Amino acid sequence: MSSTQQKPILPSVILETERLRLRAFVEADIDDVYASCTDPLLQRWIPLPAPGLPYTRRDAEQWCRETAPGMRTGGDGQQWAVTEKGSDRLLGSIGLVRTLWSAMNTEIGYWSAPWARGSGYTSEAAVAVSRWALEQGFRRVEIKAAPGNTASCRVAEKAGFTFEGVERSAMPLHEGRTDLAVYSLLPADLAAAG
C-alpha cells in the first residue's frame, strides 16, 4: 500500500508595498484579467491558456474562481492579483509556480496589464513576493523569461535576481518555441546585500 504525501499549503496572505496591494483574485477582476490576457503583447510571450488556443472570457472566469485559488489550496504555489493601493485596480498577476517542496525551490511567474506596463509595478511586486517566499523557508526562487522579452528580463534584474544562463528551446509559444533566461535569488544573496 502506498501513501500519498500531501503538499504543504502556503498561508493566505495579502502583501503590501509602497504602491501595491497583492491580494487574492476576486470576481471583480474577471474583466481586467480577460482584457490583459487577450493583449497581443502578453500573448506573444505567454501562451495562455495553452499554445495555439485563444484566451476566452471563460478562461478569465476560471482563473479568478478556480485556478488561482486552487494553486494555493493544492500546494502548488500561490497567486496574487497585483492591484494599485487605494483604487484596487488590477495591474497584473504574480505568483509562485512550479514549487518543488522537496528542494524548497519555487519560481515566480507574472504578467502585467497593458495599462500598467513601464511603471515598475511588476518589479516592485517581484521584490515583495520573492522576499516573502524566502521568509517562508524557500532556498531558491527563480524567474524565467524569454531573452527577447526584455521587459520581463528587466523585472528579474531590478528585483535583485542573478542571471544564471539560458535554457534552450525551453518553452512553447503560440508560434514556435523560445529559450528561457534563468535568474535566481537565494537567501545568501540578501544577506550579502545586507
Cβ atoms of 185 and 162 within 8 Å: the answer is yes
Q: What is the pLDDT of residue 169?
A: 98
**86 vs 26: CA distance, rounded Å:** 16
pLDDT in tens, 87-111: 999 999 999 999 999 999 999 999 9
Of 12, 51, 21, 38, which is closest to residue 111 (Cα–Cα)? 38
Confidence of residue 1 (pLDDT cuts 50, 70, 90): very low
Give the phi and the psi of residue 84 in degrees, each rounded to 5. -80, 130
* Cα–Cα distance measured from residue 179 to residue 166, given in angstroms and rounded to the nearest whole number: 7
22's grid cell? 497583492
Look over the chain and give the mean of its residue pLDDT values, rounded to a whole number: 95
pLDDT digits (tens, 9 = 90+) for 17-34: 999 999 999 999 999 999
- The pTM of this model reads 0.95
Domain segments of the chain as ranges: 15-142
| pLDDT band at residue 144 using 50, 70 and 90 as cut-offs | very high
What cell was used for 176? Answer: 514556435
pLDDT in tens, 33-56: 999 999 999 999 999 999 999 999
User: How sure is the predictor about 149, in pLDDT bands with cuts at 50, 70 and 90?
Assistant: very high
Classify burial at 146, counting beta carbons within 10 Å of its beta carbon; exposed 0-12, middle 13-18, buried 19 or more: buried
Assess if CATH 3.65.10.10 describes domain 15-142.
Answer: no
pLDDT at 5: 61
